[in-house]
């Protein structure tokens, strides 16, 4: 091809989807092809003379300058990736191929927009990370934290919140939020409630920060669309809308439709992960706690006793097991009904708990039987005193819906190490002491090795 033909060809350079950029030795744009406007959102005349680094995403500037200096010293780069900020504030991912022209003392580079590919990769990574997090997170709070980290890798999110709406509650609550739900002139509770009720994404423009924000049910916030500072996406699980994901900016920021679509797509996975984790937490709770009183059950109690025993192997310590059974509780059920009996059991559980220290454990073994672990007791007296405190507390009348009821407990006490050295033996001895009290008329405290009643009403 002769030189004239090359000249003709250069007239068609504007057809290229990629952008050709020439940057001088001072780092300023000296030439950009027409394709640059599609990529950067600026016309070539707006770019010429500007330092290229101004347009680079702030997080990528240092690395970009380093690579630019390598190219300027003669290294040819064909696979350098970085992010630029478009004129409308959106992020664009670019793949660069560049070299230094010694003759013209400038850097010649071709930029390809790889944003779509990057978004597809980010979406895949996010899905993988969310399902990983659902399994790896120790609890729900840890899962929310992981979800936050995954979302900020996907798109700009100065503040992030998860709103959940539980069955039977009219308003959502915020188990995770990096911003006060009532701050920034935006009523997050109200907005999230709207997202959840409608099951649709909400974009909120802060064009009226002092008053009511303008709310747009618009997913098509195109390149030159409105500036947005609040974005709420419904959390849709298989069965229902369980809450909303919220991105909040105190500075105005624009989300494009691709980002919103991505967040909507990811939110389904987030909803499923939250549901799975909640179900696991519920199953764990049911396995370890009594559903009527919320107290630990037999399994968790045994675990705590085993831990107490293990501790005593490392350092000398004393603890006590108390076996407590309500006297003639059946009468409450018979006279007032089973649900009234339930209420009495719940109140009794709370009263026993109120007599204990943080380090102690009270468990419900079933029916009207409660077992208590008193840890680190200095002398036998401490166990006797706490047992008596519980007995006196339970003697006060219980206010039920239609009546006041009096109920009394029988309490047996076994001490480690003086009465026994393993859990089974201690429990049996405490249980037997409790039965001795019951056979003796009830409403008293007795130690495992004592024939005499310690306390009696
Ligand atoms: N309301 C209610 N009652 C229960 C529950 N679980 C067991 N019970 C009842 O609790 C009673 C416990 O039985 P007992 O301890 O043998 O009866 P009691 O009347 O307390 O007799 P003594 O222990 O000998 O004084 C039974 O009537 C059970 O039906 C429960 O979850 N709720």
State which ligand 1 atom lies nearest to the alpha carbon of 366.
Answer: 6
pTM across the whole model: 0.61
Q: What ipTM does this complex have?
A: 0.96
Give the pLDDT confidence score for residue 126 in this predicted structure. 86
Pick from 385, 396, 412: which is nearest to 324 by CA? 412
The proportion of the chain whose per-residue pLDDT surpasses 70, expressed as a percent, equals 88
Q: Is residue 84 domain-shared with residue 176, that is, in the same domain?
A: no
Please, what is the average pLDDT of the chain?
A: 85
Are 70 and 96 within 8 A, CB to CB? no
Identify the domain containing residue 95 by its residue range. Answer: 3-113
What's 304's domain CATH number?
Answer: 3.30.70.270
419/398 Cα distance (integer angstroms): 34
Pick from 279, 276, 283, 247: which is nearest to 130 by CA? 276
Are 70 and 64 within 8 A, CB to CB? no
Nearest CA to ligand 1 atom 5: 367
Residue 64 lies in a domain: yes
What is the average per-residue pLDDT within 8-30?
84
Residue 360 lies in a domain: yes
For the stretch 219-266, pLDDT in tens is 333 334 444 468 899 999 877 899 999 988 766 666 777 778 888 888
Task: Please work out whether the CB of residue 339 comes within 6 Å of at least one atom of ligand 1.
Answer: no
- Show Cβ contacts of residue 99 under 8 Å, excluding neighbours closer than 6 positions: 71, 76, 77, 107, 108, 109
Query: Does residue 417 have a cis peptide bond before it, meaning omega lies within 30 degrees of 0?
Result: yes
Residue 96 lies in a domain: yes
What's 86's domain CATH number?
Answer: 3.30.450.20
Q: Is residue 180 domain-shared with residue 278, that is, in the same domain?
A: yes
The conformational region for residue 159 under phi > 0 = left, psi -120 to 50 = alpha, else beta, is beta
Give the pLDDT confidence score for residue 185 in this predicted structure. 59
Q: Is residue 200 domain-shared with residue 275, that is, in the same domain?
A: yes
Q: Is residue 282 domain-shared with residue 169, that is, in the same domain?
A: yes
Mapped onto helix, strand or coil, the DSSP state of residue 51 is strand
- State the maximum Cα–Cα separation within the chain, in Å, rounded to a whole number: 119
Question: Is residue 14 scored above 50 in pLDDT?
Answer: yes
User: Which of 200-214, 254-268, 353-367, 437-451 has the highest mean predicted lDDT (pLDDT)?
Assistant: 353-367
Residue 412 lies in a domain: yes
Residue 291 lies in a domain: no
Q: Is residue 451 domain-shared with residue 394, that is, in the same domain?
A: yes
| CA 442–ligand 1 middle distance (angstroms) | 15
Q: Is residue 55 domain-shared with residue 167, that is, in the same domain?
A: no
What's 211's domain CATH number?
Answer: 3.30.450.40
Half-sphere exposure of 272 (CA within 13 A, CB side): 12
Residue 292 lies in a domain: no
Task: Please work out whether the CB of residue 341 comes within 6 Å of at least one atom of ligand 1.
Answer: yes
412/122 Cα distance (integer angstroms): 62
Residue 293 lies in a domain: no
Q: Is residue 337 domain-shared with residue 274, that is, in the same domain?
A: no
Q: How many domains does the chain have?
A: 3
Task: Please work out whether the CB of residue 330 comes within 6 Å of at least one atom of ligand 1.
Answer: yes
Q: Is residue 31 domain-shared with residue 146, that is, in the same domain?
A: no
| CA 426–ligand 1 middle distance (angstroms) | 23
């Amino acid at each position: 091809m002769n030189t004239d033909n090359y000249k003709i060809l250069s007239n068609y350079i504007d057809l290229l989807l990629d952008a050709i950029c020439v940057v001088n030795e001072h780092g300023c744009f000296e030439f950009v092809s027409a394709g640059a406007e599609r990529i950067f959102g600026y016309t070539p005349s707006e770019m010429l003379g500007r330092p290229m680094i101004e347009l680079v995403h702030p997080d990528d500037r240092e690395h970009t300058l380093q690579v630019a200096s390598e190219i300027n010293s003669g290294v040819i780069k064909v696979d350098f990736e970085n992010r630029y900020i478009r004129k409308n504030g959106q992020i664009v991912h670019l793949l660069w191929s560049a070299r230094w022209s010694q003759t013209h003392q400038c850097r010649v580079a071709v930029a390809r927009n790889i944003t779509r590919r990057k978004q597809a990769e980010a979406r895949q990574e996010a899905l993988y990370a969310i399902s990983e997090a659902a399994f790896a997170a120790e609890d729900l709070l840890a899962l929310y934290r992981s979800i936050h980290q995954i979302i900020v890798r996907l798109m700009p999110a100065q503040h992030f919140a998860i709103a959940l709406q539980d069955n039977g509650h009219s308003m959502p609550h915020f188990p995770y939020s990096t911003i006060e739900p009532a701050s920034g002139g935006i009523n997050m509770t109200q907005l999230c409630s709207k997202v959840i009720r409608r099951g649709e994404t909400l974009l909120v423009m802060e064009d009226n920060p002092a008053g009511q924000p303008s709310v747009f049910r618009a997913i098509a916030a195109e390149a030159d669309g409105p500036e947005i500072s609040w974005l709420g996406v419904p959390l849709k699980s298989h069965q229902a809308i369980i809450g909303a994901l919220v991105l909040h900016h105190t500075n105005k920021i624009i989300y494009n439709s691709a980002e919103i679509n991505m967040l909507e797509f990811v939110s389904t996975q987030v909803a499923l992960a939250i549901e799975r984790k909640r179900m696991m937490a519920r199953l764990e709770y049911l396995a370890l706690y009594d559903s009527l009183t919320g107290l630990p059950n037999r399994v968790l109690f045994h675990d705590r006793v085993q831990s107490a025993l293990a501790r005593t192997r490392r350092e000398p310590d004393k603890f006590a097991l108390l076996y407590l059974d309500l006297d003639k509780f059946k009468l409450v059920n018979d006279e007032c009904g089973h649900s009234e009996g339930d209420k009495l059991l719940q109140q009794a559980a709370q009263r026993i708990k109120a007599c204990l220290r943080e380090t102690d454990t009270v468990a419900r073994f079933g029916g009207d039987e409660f077992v208590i672990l008193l840890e680190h007791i200095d002398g036998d007296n401490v166990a006797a005193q706490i047992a008596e405190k519980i007995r006196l507390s339970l003697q006060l009348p219980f206010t039920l819906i239609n009546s006041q009821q009096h109920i009394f407990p029988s309490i047996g006490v076994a001490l480690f190490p003086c009465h026994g050295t393993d859990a089974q033996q201690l429990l049996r001895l405490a249980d037997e002491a409790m039965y001795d009290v019951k056979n003796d008329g009830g409403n008293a405290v007795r130690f495992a090795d004592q024939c005499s009643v310690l306390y009696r009403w």
